[in-house]
Structure 1
């Protein structure tokens, strides 16, 4: 479908398409409307491919999807080996780098996958097999947010190892400098070979900044306690829309407005 449409909806998942209780129901009818208009819905998330497969099934999506914060693109329609485009570097290499950075800053940066089930459930709200799907990670390294006073030191270390760190609402993500959500969008555009694609991008936290900066229409989705102020500050020089409701309700409202404009034009 991506080759047949000049408009793509590219959306973050956690806190954007759904709330942190993982409720997808507010957006379901709107996604059906987009499908009737042959507008692809490309999920662009820090989640793993295993997690996104479950979400795609619930939403009846067949479009390509971007996972692990832009480190990999998957899709049955991608004419590549295993239907994948890999931009990141292997998890094991990132784990070594995270350990090096921990030694440099004299502070242990804890990978998400190293948490006990109880700790991971407390942080993410996931339980049981959902934890296994979350841990099935290959191209990115999420870790617990470090104290803010260490961020400058950590960023200096990142330059040595050609990695970037993107901070989300609940955790940080270590990635190769060759991968982020924006670079993944551009790789998918290049693969599709469609000219003049209009990207409608939706996100809620600073790790969505590359997604939004590479979107023609930028939509920020607030949480129940309001928008992420760090993200708003980073977008202050750009035109963007702040949804009036949180999570999936804000997503639904803003996309429905876009659909109404398209139907009237």
Structure 2
């Protein structure tokens, strides 16, 4: 990796580089090829596990770049083979087991589901859903209780050192670490001339604000992100097109503006 890197792109996956319904990314191929041609880096940053991201990274030809896994709770090094270290995840599940039952029953995490349930909830294939369950650092899930119970649930978790972040689909629990935290470490190591971050959900906001340029990719299936500070100065923009189509258009537009 060169220290004279022209651009480093940090991108969310589901609903951003991957389409919401079928998880395809071929619509973004022109921009990905252009980025490779100019020597720009692409760092995948997602709630997905290391095992999931490792497969995607190889499919996209991005295995020589680091990847941010499980919403920033972990980092996958370039060319590294993903290994499911379950120690932290087991600790997290133990904390959940000690939450009062009247609050715990409102949260259904991936560890509470079998593979078939994950398939129904996400639309993933059976093999992909199995990889999604091989978690190392975090627990995504759905909330079915009241908003008041949810506030109490989150308060109990906070007392035990667990943080919760809202994504495009799930409420994800971990012992901390964000996409922005890992992003700062990678930037410090690679020293790119410019950075761009793309995402579609609240858990992407810090990453979007931390980059030189941010792109909120339209996601008709999720709630709109509130106005971000960087939008007031034009540093952060929103796409009209959703998913990989919006991703492709945004990257091509930024490359033209940066004359790359």
Q: TM-score range by the shorter chain?
A: 0.7 to 0.9
How many Å separate the matches in 1 of 2:159 and 2:193?
35
1:152-187 Cα offsets, whole Å, 9 max, x none, are: 22332233122210111221111113x111111112
Matched, 1:24 2:25: yes
Across the two proteins, how many residue pairs are aligned to each other?
252
How many Å separate the matches in 1 of 2:157 and 2:210?
23
- CA-CA distance at 1:108 after TM superposition: 4.2
How many Å separate the matches in 2 of 1:106 and 1:51?
27
CA contact (8 A) 2:111 2:133 kept: yes
Which residue of structure 2 lines up, in the alignment, with residue 51 of structure 1?
Answer: 52
Which residue of structure 2 lines up, in the alignment, with residue 216 of structure 1?
Answer: 212
How many Å separate the matches in 2 of 1:55 and 1:106?
33
Which residue of structure 2 lines up, in the alignment, with residue 69 of structure 1?
Answer: 71
1:2-55 Cα offsets, whole Å, 9 max, x none, are: 644152110000000011211111111210100111110100000111111221
Q: Which runs of 5+ in 1 are unaligned?
A: none
**Structure 1 residues 102 and 255: CA distance shift in structure 2, 3 A:** farther
How many Å separate the matches in 2 of 1:149 and 1:185?
34
1:61-107 Cα offsets, whole Å, 9 max, x none, are: 121111111011112368xxx899x9x98101111122233547353
Provide the aligned C-alpha RMSD in A. 2.5
**Structure 1 residues 154 and 102: CA distance shift in structure 2, 3 A:** same
Which residue of structure 2 lines up, in the alignment, with residue 7 of structure 1?
Answer: 7
- CA-CA distance at 1:193 after TM superposition: 5.8
Q: Which runs of 5+ in 2 are unaligned?
A: none
CA contact (8 A) 2:88 2:136 kept: yes
Report the more deviating stretch, 196-205 or 91-100: 196-205
CA contact (8 A) 1:2 1:40 kept: no
CA contact (8 A) 1:77 1:83 kept: no
Q: Secondary structure of 2:140's match? A: strand
How many Å separate the matches in 2 of 1:182 and 1:246?
23
Report the more deviating stretch, 3-12 or 129-138: 3-12
**Structure 1 residues 30 and 156: CA distance shift in structure 2, 3 A:** same
CA contact (8 A) 1:99 1:109 kept: no
CA contact (8 A) 2:10 2:198 kept: yes
- CA-CA distance at 1:245 after TM superposition: 0.4
**Structure 1 residues 185 and 89: CA distance shift in structure 2, 3 A:** farther
